[in-house]
């Protein structure tokens, strides 16, 4: 396990952990934007598990997709959320912390491990933002998601205090 100083900035943590963000944020698939600022908060629209080459991670969790695979997909979603933030702000060091995540899992009706799936995103955000990355969260299963993706996550962040 890589040691990262508790005083490291989010960008320093990314580098120390060897985490590479997508070069560009995913393009919204509807009539909305990836994020909106309101006061000291940034609201990131629901993001999905899309690779840089455009490949979508699809399927039903608890059916043709395992909980472990979906957990990796949730981590990918967190990377895409961070790419949205960096594209808008120029640096993740502009973020003061993670306020809340809402995680949706495209799951079979009897699937029960929704929190463990969304932990893939939560744990990455904790690594990148340290204690300020520990957040409130809801996670639940849904009957379907756009383009049959496995996971969708929306997020609320607070901006860093200046001065």
Domain harbouring 40, CATH code: 3.30.1330.40
Domains: count for the chain: 1
Q: How many CB atoms lie within 10 A of CB 136?
A: 10
| pTM, two decimal places | 0.95
1 located within any domain: no
Q: Angle CA(28)–CA(131)–CA(141) in degrees, nearest 5?
A: 45
How many Cα atoms occupy the beta-carbon half-sphere of 21 within 13 Å? Answer: 25
Is 121 contained in some domain? yes
No. of helices (H) and no. of strands (E), the chain:
3, 5
Give the residue carrying structure tokens 């899309």.
50
Residue 43 CA to residue 125 CA, distance in Å, equals: 15
Strands 41-47 and 151-159: antiparallel
Residue given tokens 């929704």 in the structure block: 114
H/E segment holding residue 42: strand 41-47
- CB 153, CB 118: distance < 8 Å: yes
Asked if the structure places residue 14 within a domain, the reply is: no
Residue by residue, pLDDT tens for the chain (163 residues) are 667 787 899 999 999 999 999 998 888 888 999 999 999 999 999 999 999 999 999 999 999 999 999 999 999 999 999 999 999 999 999 999 999 999 999 999 999 999 999 999 999 999 999 999 999 999 999 999 999 999 999 999 999 987 6
Tell me whether residue 16 is in a domain.
no
Rounded distance between C-alpha atoms, residue 70 and residue 76, angstroms: 10
Domain extent, residue 135, equals: 33-159
Give the start-end residues of each E strand in the chain: 35-38, 41-47, 95-106, 136-142, 151-159
């Amino acid at each position: 396990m890589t040691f990262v100083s508790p005083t490291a900035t989010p960008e320093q943590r990314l580098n120390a952990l060897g985490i590479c963000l997508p070069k560009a944020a995913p393009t919204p698939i509807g009539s909305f934007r990836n994020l909106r600022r309101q006061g000291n908060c940034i609201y990131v629209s629901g993001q999905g598990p899309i690779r840089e080459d455009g490949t979508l991670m699809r399927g039903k969790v608890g059916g043709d997709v395992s909980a472990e695979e979906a957990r990796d997909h949730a981590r990918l979603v967190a990377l895409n959320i961070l790419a949205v933030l960096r594209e808008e702000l120029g640096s993740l060091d502009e973020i003061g912390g993670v306020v809340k995540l809402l995680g949706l899992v495209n799951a079979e009706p009897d699937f029960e491990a929704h929190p463990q799936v969304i932990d893939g995103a939560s744990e990455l955000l904790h690594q990148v933002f340290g204690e300020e990355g520990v957040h409130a969260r809801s996670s639940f299963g849904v009957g379907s998601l756009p383009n049959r993706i496995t996971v969708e996550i929306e997020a609320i962040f607070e901006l860093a205090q200046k001065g």
